[in-house]
Structure formats: C-alpha cells, structure tokens
Structure 1
Amino acid sequence: MSNRPIIEQEPDEELYEHYRFEAGKGQSPLRVDKFLMNLIENATRSKIQKAAENGNIYINDVPVKSNQKVKSNDVVRMLLEHPPYEYLLTPENIPLEIVYEDDQLLVINKEPGMVVHPGHGNYSGTLVNALAYHFENLPMNSSERPGLVHRIDKDTSGLLVIAKTEQAMTHLTKQFADKTSEREYVAIVWGNVEDDKGTIEGNIDRHPKDRMQMSVYPDGEQGRHAVTHYEVLERLGYVTVVTCKLETGRTHQIRVHMKHIGHTLFNDARYGGDIILKGTTFTKYKQFIDNCFKILPRQALHAKTLGFEHPTTKEFMRFDSEIPKDMQECIEKWRTYSKSHTVEEEEQ
C-alpha cells in the first residue's frame, strides 16, 4: 500500500489505496462485499456496501457495485479520499528493549502483545509508533513502513532487526528475500512430536473460508512456497517444546505449518490451540490447562535467534534472546506435571 495518490478523479480530488487483495487461483465466484468482509478485520458489510455505492471499490481497476463477483486472480482494491490512518503516524513514547544498535541498524526484543505496525483497528501503541518517536528519518520499506525489514505477529515475542538507512534497508531486505538470514523460534506445541527433527514443506495462502487464517496447500498449485525445519527440544507428555528454523518467511508460517502436521501451537486461539487438544478428561487436568493458559495468554512462540550479514561491515551477526517469562513458567508447569503424571498411567 502507498499513501501517494492512486487515481485523480477531479483536479482537487485524490484517492488513496486502503486495501489491496489478490484472489487466489482457486477462488470460486463470490460477491465482492462478502470477499472483503472475510479479509478486512472489524469491517461491517454496510460500510463495505456504502464504499461500493460511492465508487470506492475496484476490481482490476474498474469501480464495481457490491454484488459484483470476484473470480480467480482478480485484484480487489478499496480507494478512499483520505490517506489510511496508519500513515497518519503519531510518534509515541513507548519503551523499546534495544539489544544492539549502530549507525546502520538496531535489533530489538519485542514483547508479546505489541503490534508491529499500524493497521485496521490498531492505529496506536505499535512498534512503528515507538520507532517514530525514538528515531528520525528511518527509511521506508516497500509498504511505506519506516524501518521494518521483517515482522512477527502481535502475540509472538522476540527479535527484530530495524534498518536505519536506505543502504541497510536494501541490504537486509535482500538477505531475507534470498533466505540468507537466520531465524530460529522456540514453540510449545500440542502433542508428542514423533520425529526428533523434520522439515515441513507446503505452500501457504489464505484459508478458503476463514480469511483471518492461513492454510497449507501441499500440491503447490496455490500460495507461496514455504519451508520450516523443526527439532524437538523437550518432550513433556501432551506437549512438546520445539525449535523452528525458517527457510522462508510467510505469514503465520510456523503456526500453520505445525498445525498442518498435527501439532498446533499451545494456546494459539486463531488456529484452535486454545482448547485441550491432547490429554485426559479429568477435571484436575482441565484445571491444570486453564492455569497454563492464564500464565501464557497467547500462542507459545518466541523469535529466539536472529542472524544476518551487516550491511556495511559484511560481518555475520547473530543475536540470541532468552525465552520470555510467561513461556518459561508454562514449560516449568508442564515439566512438573509430566514427571508426576505419565501418559500411560492416565490412559489406563
């Protein structure tokens, strides 16, 4: 998206792109208002229909009514007269945990619950709001967001590299695109992961029904190629602690890949990990899980290690972070539980 004018209708009237979506190859014909309802968080159908009435919704650069059908590979855009709120960026004095900083870049350890960049429903309190306060003239990425080379989900904690110069932005972005950067995560997943290590491959694209989720398309006909390498760190009965190394960086990649092999992330509400997926029907066990969810009120995922080549010195830099307190406490509870309750005992 860009905050530059997209279309000029009248000499004094400019339209700005707020949303842009490309329908997948497997998209069956669907009304454009329903299509956008599935994709725009917190949107109402009446608002989308009003936008269509005003000529603000386009399919393949042609304004359409709300009953127009979206088909495979169509590009759907919403254009409005004011810039997106996310570009009206307000600097906010939010503390950042800076792990490393020089004149080219900085590495931060993001706390869980912080949104990385403003978007629909999250216009303040984000990492980008904090960066705008603490740093001047950060370079824009391809989505017009200052400093961001990559991102992690709101409820994922861990390491992010931020570019401070145009040179750093170009150099670091290329490393992520060329898969030469290193990213390793630690996760708690439901179930006992059978193999000590493995690789998950499968294209990732939007879920055909729930557009807030991603889905795996293993035949490779839809979505973007994605590869995750995992290794078991600790088996704790009904859950397993694993490390995941990203070869690619797709939206929700670890979350959707681990679910795809039957091991949804612990307490990942969006992918169904916030209910008991493995274990017993005992009341005490349910209470134990509830206590774990309270200790760790988010998906159990932490971006632990980050490595990349410095844009000017060409030195390969690697950063490591501690697993945050909420995940540590949850793992400790599972260690204690698994020592006193074996799976075999509870299944008898």
Structure 2
Amino acid sequence: MAEKIISNKNNLQVLFEDNHIIIVNKRAGDIVQGDKTGDKPLSDVVKAYIKEKYNKPNNVYLGVVHRLDRPTTGLVIFAKTSKVLPRLNALFVSKDIDKTYWAIVKNEPPKIEDTLVNWLKKNPKNNKSTAYSKEVKDSKKAVLHYKTLKKLDNYFLLEVNLETGRHHQIRSQLSTIGCPIKGDLKYGFDRSNKDASIHLHARHITFIHPVKLETIHIIAPLPNDPIWDACTTP
C-alpha cells in the first residue's frame, strides 16, 4: 500500500480505519496516552474524531495498543472495540507485528547494516535509558537491526527494525554507536530541533488483521520538513 491519508481533519491524520482498528500518523509533540503533564492525549483526539464522524451520543471506546515517544512521529494503532484490544496486544507480545522506523543521524554508522545487542536500564528520575554491553542489575536485553538507506547532504537515513520494544530503545542504542538521532539532546545530539521533535519516524507497519485475517500494510507519510523531504527524492 502506498502512502495514503483517508482523513486529515483537526490535525489528525487517519491512515486506516475499519470497525475494529484505527491507525493514525502521530505528530511530534503529541502524547499517545494521558500523563502527569495534563496535556490532551492523542487518544482523546481520536475519540473525538470517532464521536463526530459516527454521531455517537455516548462515550467512545478506544484501546491504546502501544505508544510512541512524545518527540517521535509516525504510526500508532488503536483498538476501536474491547474485543479486538487483547488480540492486538497479543500480536505485539508474540512479535507478529512488523514495525519499521526511519531515523536521521548526523554521523555515519560504523557499518552499513548491523544488529545491535545491548542491555538497557531505565532511570525513571530523568526518563532515560542507558545502554550497556553486558547485563547489569535491572537491565533488559534490547535487540535491533539497522541498515543505511541513504546518504543525505549532512546526515544519514537509517532503517531500523526492532526485535524488542524497550524504553527509548532506538534512541539509546543508536547513540551507543555514535549515531544520536537528529534533535535528540537527551541521547547526545548537539542541538534540538526548533519544534522539539526528533527525526525518528514509525514508517511502516505490517500485521495480520486479528478479525478479518487480512494482511494490513500501512506507510506513514513523513513530516513536512526539508530533511525528511530529501529522504524520498531521487
């Protein structure tokens, strides 16, 4: 499936929707689920969209299946029914959902493509994960695969596939090989982006629909940004 937006209303890009699932393209700065900041979460925006579109008089059900970091953009899946939520959760647990990310980094990776294995330990005080080469107390194993897709004028475009889903995994692991993501001050980039985003985008997702048993493949359009634009130009 090519990049496709089926609705772009009230700053909400809907990329797929049926009776069971809705997939949206998250903007930088949006939080997927409510937190201590009190900012309106993306889940509430999606509920309002469903309520208006289908003229629902009562509360709208929406299940949060997974999350993206606040400064990250791209694909987020929500469950529209309580029946399908545990089925989608099971797909993530069994790793039967294929997620591909694009990341823009300043430095050239040591290898064109590689598998990174680290042990990540989260520090809740600064909301940061430190990557270790060996297992340490309270750490969790993290595995990702990357390959270099394109050399840009001043950056490199990497494609990343996760085997595990750890806190800040891509950000932390790429930083360990000297490739912090553009704009990511927390993990070693030298300056922030003006909009507080980082150049990490959940680009592709593929899975078997848990009800219809059809293959769903969605590509999230890239943010409107000159550097992202350069990634798709010949």
Taking structure 1 as the reference length, the TM-score comes to: 0.57
Counterpart check, 1:134 vs 2:134: no
Residue pairs, 1:1-348, within 5 angstroms: 95-121=11-37, 123-135=38-50, 136-138=59-61, 146-207=62-123, 211-221=126-136, 222-236=138-152, 239-275=155-191, 293-294=193-194, 297-326=196-225, 329-330=226-227
Label 1:95 to 1:213 Cα distance change in 2 as closer, same or farther (>3 A). same
Q: Which has the larger radius of gyration?
A: 1
CA contact (8 A) 2:29 2:196 kept: no
Cα distance in 1 between the residues matched to 2:20 and 2:82: 9
Alpha-carbon distance in 2 for matches of 1:297, 1:154? 9
Q: Are the aligned partners of 2:63 and 2:82 in contact in 1 as well (CA < 8 Å)? A: no
Residue 131 of structure 1 aligns to which amino acid in structure 2?
V
Cα-to-partner distance string for 1:117-159 (whole Å, 9 max, x where unaligned): 11112x2321022133234442xxxxxxx41100101111111
State whether residues 222 and 228 of structure 2, in contact with CA within 8 Å, keep that contact through their aligned partners in structure 1: no
Give me the TM-score of the superposition, normalised by structure 2. 0.83
Count of equivalent residues: 215
Going from structure 1 to structure 2, the CA distance change for 1:194 and 1:272 (only over 3 Å counts) comes to closer
Q: Secondary structure at the match of 2:140?
A: coil
Would the aligned equivalents of 2:175 and 2:188 in 1 still touch at CA under 8 Å? Answer: no
1:44-100 deviation per Cα after TM superposition (whole angstroms, max 9, x unaligned) = xxxxxxxxxxxxxxxxxxxxxxxxxxxxxxxxxxxxxxxxxxxxxxxxx95421111
Q: Is the 8 A contact 1:156 1:302 kept in 2?
A: yes
> Which stretch shows the higher mean deviation, 227-236 or 266-275?
266-275
Q: Kindly provide the amino acid, as one letter, of the partner of residue 130 in structure 2.
A: S
Q: Secondary structure at the match of 2:174?
A: helix
Kindly indicate which of the two structures has a greater share of residues assigned to strand: 2
Partners of 1:224 and 1:188 in 2: CA distance: 25
- What residue in structure 1 maps to residue 56 of structure 2? none
Report the alpha carbon displacement of residue 111 of structure 1 after superposing the two structures with TM: 1.2
| Counterpart in the other structure of 1:89 | none
Deviations 1:260-280 (A, max 9, x none): 1111111102222143xxxxx
Look up the match of 2:4. Answer: none
> 2:48 and 2:219 mapped to 1: Cα distance?
26
Q: 1:234 to 1:95 in 2, by over 3 A?
A: closer
* C-alpha contact 1:226 1:248 (8 A) present in aligned 2: yes
Contact 1:94-1:125 within 8 A present in 2 as well: no
**Percent sequence identity over aligned pairs:** 28
Structure 1 CA distance for aligned equivalents of residues 229 and 213 of structure 2: 40
SS, match of residue 104 in structure 2: strand
Q: Which secondary structure does the structure 1 equivalent of 2:63 belong to?
A: coil
CA contact (8 A) 1:192 1:238 kept: no
Give the deviation of 1:333 after TM superposition. Answer: 7.6
Structure-2 separation of matches of 1:251 and 1:98: 26
How many angstroms does 1:166 deviate by? 2.0
1:15 counterpart residue number: none
Asked if the contact 1:192/1:237 (under 8 Å) is kept, the reply is no
